[in-house]
Structure 1
Amino acid sequence: MSPADFRRYALFYLGYYGALGAYTPYVGRWVAANGHSGYVVGAMLALWYGGRIVAPPTWARMSARSPSPGHWLVAGCVLSLLGFAAFAGFDAGMMLFVTMAWFGVFFNAVMPQFEAMTLSALGQRNHDYGLIRMWGSIGFLIVAGTYGWLLDRLGNDAFVWLTLPWLALTVFAAWLHRNDRPATVEAAPTSAEPLWRRPGARRLLLTAMLMQLGFGPFYVFYTLHLQAHGHGGFAVGMLWAIGVVCEIAMFYLAPRLVQRFGAHRLMTACILATMARWTMVALLGDSFAWMAVAQTGHALSFAAFHAGCMRRMAELFPVRRDMAAAQGLLYGFSGGIGGVAGAGLAALTWQAGGGELAFLSGAAIGIATLLAHTLALRAPRAAAAES
Structure 2
Amino acid sequence: MKNNSRTNIVLLALTYWLYFGQLGVLVPYLGIFLDGRGFSSADIGKLFAIITLARIIGPSLWASIADKTGQALLVLRLGCFLTVVSFATVFLFDGFWGLTLSFGLMMMFWTAVLPQLEVITMQSVTKTAVSYGQVRLWGSIGFIVLTVGVGKALDSYSTDTPVYVSMGILTALFVSSLLIVHPGATKPATDQSDNFGQLARHKTFLIFLLSASLLQFSFGAYYGFFALYMRDLHYSGQQTGLLIALGVLAEIGIFLLARRLIARCGVWWLLFVCMTLTACRWAILAGWAEYGIAVIVSQLIHALSFGLTHATSVHFIYHFFPAQFHSRAQALYISIAFGLGGASGNYIAGQLWHQGTNAIQTFMVAAISALAGALVLFLINRKKMDLSFTQ
Question: TM-score w.r.t. structure 2 length?
Answer: 0.91
Equivalent runs, 1:107-256 vs 2, <5 Å: 107-123=110-126, 128-177=131-180, 182-184=185-187, 192=195, 194=197, 195-256=199-260
After superposition, the Cα gap between the structure-2 partners of 1:67 and 1:257, relative to the gap in structure 1 and judged at 3 Å, is closer
- C-alpha distance 8-360 of structure 1, shift in aligned 2 (>3 A): same
Give ranges in structure 2 of 5+ residues lacking alignment: none
Deviation at 1:339, TM superposition (A): 0.8
2:62 to 55, 59, 64: 59
Equivalent position of 1:95 in the other structure: 98
For the Cα contact (< 8 Å) 2:144–2:249, is it kept in 1? Answer: yes
**Given the alignment of the two structures, is residue 307 of structure 1 paired with residue 315 of structure 2, yes or no?**
no
Query: Which of 20, 34, 43 is the matching residue for 1:40?
Result: 43
Counterpart AA for 1:296: L
1:286 maps to 2:290: yes
> Who is 1:270 aligned against?
274
Q: How far is 1:61 from its partner?
A: 1.0
- Preserved CA contact (<8 Å) 1:64 1:182: no
Letter in 1 for 2:311: A
Counterpart CA distance in 2 for 1:121 and 1:309 is 18
Residues 182/364 of structure 1: CA separation in 2 closer, same or farther (3 Å cut)? same
Cα deviation 1:107-165 (Å, max 9, x = unaligned): 12221122122223333679921111101111101011221110120111222111222
Partners of 1:18 and 1:142 within 8 A in 2: yes
Distance 1:275-1:65 versus aligned 2 partners, 3 A rule: same
Distance 1:279 1:112 in 2: 31
**Unaligned runs of at least 5 residues, structure 1:** none
Task: Indicate the residue corresponding to 2:370 in structure 1.
Answer: 366
Q: Secondary structure at the match of 2:112?
A: helix
Structure 1 residue 298, shift from structure 2 partner: 0.5
Q: Distance in 2 between matches of 1:190 and 1:93?
A: 40
Contact 1:63–1:72 (8 Å) recurs in 2? yes
CA distance change for structure 1 residues 125 and 180 in 2, over 3 Å: closer, same or farther?
Answer: closer
Instruction: Work out the CA distance in 2 between the residues paired with 1:190 and 1:47.
Output: 30
Distance 1:251 1:138 in 2: 11
**TM-align CA RMSD:** 2.3
Q: Residue 247 of structure 2 contacts residue 301 of structure 2 at CA under 8 Å; is this kept in 1?
A: yes
Maintained 8 Å contact 2:73/2:116: no
SS in 1 for 2:111: helix
SS in structure 2 opposite 1:241? Answer: helix
2-side partners of 1:241 and 1:107: how far apart?
23
Q: Percent identity?
A: 29
- Number of matched pairs: 380
- In structure 2, how many angstroms separate the alpha carbons of the residues matched to 1:281 and 1:184? 47
CA contact (8 A) 1:211 1:369 kept: yes
- Please give the secondary structure, in 1, of the residue aligned with 2:214: helix
User: How many Å apart are 1:302 and its aligned residue?
Assistant: 0.8
Higher mean C-alpha deviation, range 366-375 or range 171-180: 171-180
Question: C-alpha distance in 1, partners of 2:181/2:255?
Answer: 27
The answer as to whether partners of 2:271 and 2:374 remain within 8 angstroms in 1 is no
Q: Distance in 1 between matches of 2:32 and 2:308?
A: 28
